[in-house]
Amino acid sequence: MLKRMALENLTVFPRADLAFSPMLNVIIGENGSGKSQLLKIAYSVIAASAEAGRLPFSNGPTKATMQKNYAEKLLTVLRPEAVGRLARRGQGVRRCEVALFFNNPDLDVAFDFTTKSKTEVRISKLNQDWQPKAPVFFPTRELLTLYPGFVSFYDQHYIEFPETYRDTCSLLGIPSLKGAREKSAAALMAPLEKAMGGKIYLDNNGRFYLKIPGSGNMEMYLVAEGIRKLAMLARLVANGSLIDKGYLFWDEPESNLNPKLIKELAKVILDLCMGGIQVFIASHSLFLIRELDILAQGLGSRIKQRFFGLRPEEDGVVVEQGDHLKDLQTIVLLDEELTQSDRYMEIG
């Protein structure tokens, strides 16, 4: 589990030190406040280690290898022209520092780079072991309709897609679980399949369908995008990518979902947390944020959660954090939605 992430001079953040929950972490902020960047930085570091550890004949991490690997993952996930473009802008040369700390200290890593850095970072603390499981990253759009042939095309051509698309598509292609582990996924699958009205199915040609009882298979292009997002989640539960210990990073999960589906999604997210997945969400949906908080408080001590509010100021973005939504003092996006509700009631 990721315990903490410390940043200095990263993009819009002059300084930030985020202490994470081992279960649910919700990052809240208006557009341009750096929500997605926080998810992608943490994802890139964890993914780079997990990928290197899966290589054939892989020995332990070395500085020479990981300095290149971490930089390469940052470049392909965040898509700057050079690593140094991720450092906060200002007069002169600035140094950006990134450090991640885990429950297992052998996974801890720290590195830095300057505004002049091109394709490498400088490691100040090398992880002594590999990340044991690949993290999962869900972008704002669904990927099931993009899946057929995407991984091979991405690997053979340069295309302007973040590598998170490629990484997640490769996980979608993993076969479904069988035996005892299949049963462990069934409980998580049930509410998703009920909300979707069917089961997710991958044919031999690499195309996904929604298998609806009494109606046969429906092509994913004909399924509403909100349902496709739930189907993507269902697929990764079914094949074990989101079973047992691991990480899920989800950028704006509420997009293209109606309130009824958002409520179902919130329940599944908390079920994943209780199943051993550490979940990180970036959102500006008051409905989803409140639903998660309400459900988590109803579960009491069984759910540990953290909320992070990103507040833009003159010198950069400041991070507020706490165990409850009420701990965040200044959240512009929430204020705006609440103000609109007041205005609507006045009209009535």
309 lies in some domain: yes
77 lies in some domain: yes
Q: What is the pLDDT of residue 256?
A: 84
Q: What is the pLDDT of residue 307?
A: 93
Q: What is the pLDDT of residue 330?
A: 57
- Helix axes of 225-238 and 163-172: crossing angle, nearest 10 degrees: 60
51 lies in some domain: yes
- Nearest 5°: the CA angle 43, 253, 206 is 80
Q: What is the pLDDT of residue 33?
A: 85
Whether residues 251 and 238 share a domain: the answer is no
Whether residues 28 and 111 share a domain: the answer is yes
Whether residues 106 and 6 share a domain: the answer is yes
Specify the CATH number for the domain of residue 72: 3.40.50
- What is the DSSP secondary structure assignment for residue 87, as one 8-state letter? B
Q: What tokens were used for 342?
A: 């007041």
Nearest to 215 by CA among 239, 192, 197, 203: 197
192 lies in some domain: yes
Element (H, E) at 25: strand 24-28
138 lies in some domain: no
Residue ranges making up the domain that contains 107: 2-133+245-347
Element (H, E) at 209: strand 208-212
Half-sphere exposure of 43 (CA within 13 A, CB side): 29
49 lies in some domain: yes
Q: What is the pLDDT of residue 290?
A: 85
Whether residues 236 and 343 share a domain: the answer is no
Q: With beta carbons less than 8 A apart as the criterion, state whether 170 and 54 touch.
A: no
224 lies in some domain: yes
The residue among 196, 227, 243 that closes a domain is: 243
Element (H, E) at 23: none
- Nearest 5°: the CA angle 125, 48, 108 is 30
65 lies in some domain: yes
pLDDT tens per residue across all 348 residues of the chain? 999 999 999 999 999 999 999 999 999 988 888 899 999 999 999 999 999 988 877 788 999 999 999 999 999 999 999 999 999 887 777 899 999 999 999 999 999 999 999 988 999 999 999 999 889 999 988 999 999 889 999 999 888 889 999 999 999 999 888 887 788 788 888 888 888 999 999 998 889 999 999 888 999 999 988 899 999 999 999 998 888 778 999 999 988 888 888 988 898 899 889 888 999 999 988 889 889 988 988 888 889 999 999 988 888 999 999 988 878 875 545 566 666 666 666 776
Name the amino acid, one letter, at 53. Answer: G
Number of structural domains (the chain) is: 2
Whether residues 71 and 203 share a domain: the answer is no
Q: What tokens were used for 149?
A: 């042939």
Name the amino acid, one letter, at 185. Answer: A
Whether residues 123 and 253 share a domain: the answer is yes
Whether residues 286 and 341 share a domain: the answer is yes
Nearest to 120 by CA among 77, 167, 64: 64
Name the β-bridge partners of 28. Answer: 283, 309
Whether residues 295 and 284 share a domain: the answer is yes
